Structure 1
Amino acid sequence: MHRLAVFILAVLADALVGEPPTSLHPTAWVGQAASVLEGIGRKLPARGQLLLGALVALALPLAVGLSARKTLRLLRRTPCIGMIVEAALFKSSFAVRALLGEAEGLACLLREGELERARIKARSLVSRDTTHLDEAHLVSAGLESLAENTTDAFLAPWLYYLMWGTEGALVYRTINTLDAMWGYHGPYEFWGKGAARLDDLANLIPARLGAFLLALASGKLRQAITIALAQHARTESPNAGWTMAALAGALGVELEKVGHYRLGLPRRALAPSLLDEGIAVVRRVAALGAALMTVLLWAKGWFGREKGRSS
C-alpha cells in the first residue's frame, strides 16, 4: 500500500500547503534545463530545429524518469523519510490548489470591476493576448483554462502515477512542461513540434476521462457529453476541446477564443458568477478523481499483495 500512502500524503500537501518555492520545484528545474537546450537548438535551421527539438522532447522526460527511479531506489533504504520525499516529488507533478486559486483570483477581480487587473491576471491562465478582452471573454478564458487544466494540472499526472508511479507522473509533467514552453506556432513552429505532438499523445486518454468527470461532477451528464461529442473537434488540439466543450455544455454557455473556436451553446451570458460555478465543478472533479484513485490504488496494492502471497 506504499503507493496509496504516497498519493494521500501528496494530495494533503497540495490541499494544505500548495506549491513549493520555485527554487525547490522540480518543474522549474526542468524548465531551466529546457531553456538552456532551447538556446542552443533554436540557432539551427528549420530542419535541424525539428530534429533536435523532437530529440529533446523525448530525451528530457526520459532523463527525468530515470533520475526519479534511481532516487526512489535510494530512498527505499529509509522508508519513512523516503515516503515523505517521494510524496513531495509526486506532489510537484500536479497542482489542484494553484489552479483553483488562479481562477478564484480572476473571478474576484471581475466581480470588483477591476477589468485591467483581470486582464493581467488572465495571462497566468491562458497564452492568448488578453490586453483587449472584455468581461465576457475574460470569463471565457478562465473557464477554458479551468477545463483544459483539469487534465493537465491533476488528472493526467494522477493517471500516470496509477500506471507507473512517481516516475510516470514526473515524466508526464516534463512532457507537459515542454509543450507549455514550446508548443506554439510562430517562432516555435519547428523547435516545438515534437513537444506538442508528444503532449497530444500523452493526453489522449486523460482528456477524455476529464470530459466525462466534468460532465458527471456538473450534474448535467447528458447535456455536457452531448456538447463534448459534437464539438470537441473544433479546437486545433485533439484533446483540449473535449474538456472545454464538456464544461461549456455543463454550464450552458458558449466559450470563445476569438478567431479560433466557439464551444457550447449561448444559453446563459458569460458573467463572473459562472467562473465560481466552473471552479465548483472542477473542485468536485478533483474530489471524484482523488476518490477514484484511492480505490484503484488500494485495489492494485491488495491484488499485488495477494499475488505475492500465492506465488
Structure 2
Amino acid sequence: MPLRQAATAAGLITGYFADTWFGDPRRGHPVAGFGTVAAALEQRWWADSKSRGAAYAGACAGAVAGLGLAAQVATRRRPFARFALTAAATWVVLGGRGLAAEGREMARLLESGEVPAARERLGHLCARDATGLDAAELSRAATESIAENTSDAVVAPLLWGAVAGIPGLLGYRAVNTLDAMVGYRSPRHRNFGWFAARTDDLVNLVPSRAGALLATAVAPLAGGRSRTAWRTWRRDGSAHPSPNAGQVEAAFAGALGIRLGGTNSYHGETERRGTLGDGRPPGPADLRRAVRLSRVVGAAALVVAVAGVFGVRAR
C-alpha cells in the first residue's frame, strides 16, 4: 500500500470524523475568509460581462487550487505531512454536521409551530425567499436543501479529494462557494456569475449522480425503499432546472416516499420546478428522516472515496 495513498485515505477519514464530531471551525473558518476576499475582489472586478466574470472566478478558484497543489507537491515524500494537510483540508471543506444541525433545528421550530423563526432560519440552508412561506413550504424547502447540500457539502468534496487530493478538496470548495456568491441569476450576476455557475455545474455532474445512487442504495437505513428511490430518480431527476440538484433531490424524494419540487422564489425571481416523487408533501418528521439519510449517504461516500484513492493509484 503506497504511503502517499495511505496518507490521503487516512486524511479523508480523519477529516470526515473531525467534521462529524466538531463541525465547522468556530473561529477563523477558511471558507468564510475566502468568501470575504472574493467579495472584496468582486467589488473591484465586477462588470456586466461574462469574460470578466470568468477571469474573476478563474483567479479566485485557481489561487486556492494552486495553494492545494503546492501543498500536494511539498508533501510527496512526507506522508505524515500529507496526512495532516489532507485531514485539515477535508475538515474545512465538509459541512455534514452543520447541515444536519440546521435540518434538525428547522424540524424543531416547525414542530413547535414557530413559523416566523423557521422563516428566518431557512436562510442558513438556502437562498430561497422565505417571506410568506407556510410550515408545509418551509418543510419542503429545508428537505430539498438537505438533499442538494448532501451532494455539495459532503459527497462532492470527498470524491474530489479522492481523485485529486488536497487541490481537489480546496478547488472544489472554492468553485462551490463562488457559485453560491455570484452564480444566481440576479440582474447583477446574470453575466458576471455565468462562468462560476457553469463551472459548478460541471464539477458536480458526477458527484450529484453518485450521491443519488448512494441515497438509493442506503434508503432502507433511513426507513425508505431503494426500489422507489431508483424509480423516482431515473424518472424525475431531469425534471429539475438544475442539471445536478434534481438528481439527488429526486432520489431523496423516492427514498423517503415524499413529493418535492414546485414554485420557488430567488432574489425576486420566480422559478417553476418539476415535481419529484409521488408521495405526500414533506413534514417536519420527514425532514428529520432526510437528515438521517444525509448522514448515511455521507458515510457511504467516505467508503467510496477511500476505495477511490487506491483505485486511482491502481489505474
Q: Match for residue 309 of structure 2?
A: 297
After superposition, the C-alpha distances for 1:189-244 in whole angstroms (9 at most, x for unaligned) are 11100000000111110111111111111132221122222222222211111111
* 1:235–1:185 distance in 2 versus 1, CA, 3 Å: same
Counterpart in 2 of 1:222?
A: 227
Partner of 1:285: 297
1:111 aligns with 2:111: yes
Matched, 1:248 2:253: yes
Task: Describe the SS at the equivalent of 1:131.
Answer: coil
Q: Output the CA distance in 2 between the equivalents of 1:59 and 1:225.
A: 39
Q: Do residues 33 (structure 1) and 46 (structure 2) align? A: no
- 2: CA distance, partners of 1:73 / 1:166: 10
The 1:253/1:5 distance shift into structure 2, 3 A limit, reads: same
Give the match for residue 166 of structure 1.
Answer: 166
Q: Normalization by structure 1: what TM-score? A: 0.89
Task: Find out whether 1:267 has 2:273 as its counterpart.
Answer: no
In structure 2, relative to structure 1, the CA distance for the partners of 1:88 and 1:253 (3 Å cut) is: same
Task: Report % sequence identity.
Answer: 34
Unaligned runs of 5+ in 1: 305-311
- Does 256-265 or 189-198 show the bigger shift? 256-265
Q: Aligned partner of 2:141: which letter?
A: A
Q: Give the 5 Å matches for 1:113-132.
A: 113-132=113-132
Contact conserved, 1:147 with 1:243, CA < 8 A, in 2?
yes
Matched to 1:233, the amino acid is S
* More moved, 185-194 vs 80-89: 80-89
| Residue of structure 2 aligned with 1:235, choices 240, 243, 248 | 240
Q: TM-score, normalised by structure 2?
A: 0.88
Give the Å deviation of 1:78: 6.8
Letter in 2 for 1:270: P
Does structure 2 conserve the Cα–Cα contact (< 8 Å) formed by 1:211 and 1:242? yes
CA-CA distance at 1:95 after TM superposition: 1.4
Quote the RMSD (CA, aligned, Å): 2.0
Count residues with an aligned counterpart. 298
The gaps in structure 2 that reach 5 residues or longer are: 1-5, 264-270
**Partner AA of 1:240 in structure 2:** A
The answer (yes or no) to whether the contact 1:227–1:246 under 8 Å persists in 2 is yes
The corresponding residue for 2:211 is 210
Native 8 Å contact 1:57 1:198 kept in 2 = no
- 2:260 partner SS: strand
Q: Please state whether the residue corresponding to 1:226 is helix, strand or coil.
A: helix
CA deviation profile, 1:129-180 (whole Å, cap 9, x unmatched): 1121111111101110111111100111111111110111110110000001
Of 130-139 and 259-268, more deviation after overlay is shown by 259-268
- Helix, strand or coil: the match of 2:113? coil
Instruction: Indicate conservation of the 8 Å contact 2:253/2:260, yes or no.
Output: yes
Q: Which shows bigger deviation, 12-21 or 266-275?
A: 266-275
Tell me whether 1:89 sits opposite 2:94 in the alignment.
Answer: no
Q: What residue identity is the alignment partner of 2:219?
A: S
Question: Are the aligned partners of 2:8 and 2:82 in contact in 1 as well (CA < 8 Å)?
Answer: no
Deviates more, 1:14-23 or 1:200-209: 14-23
Aligned residue for 1:32, secondary structure, equals helix
The whole-number CA distance in structure 1 between the counterparts of 2:32 and 2:256 is: 34
Matching residue of 1:11: 16
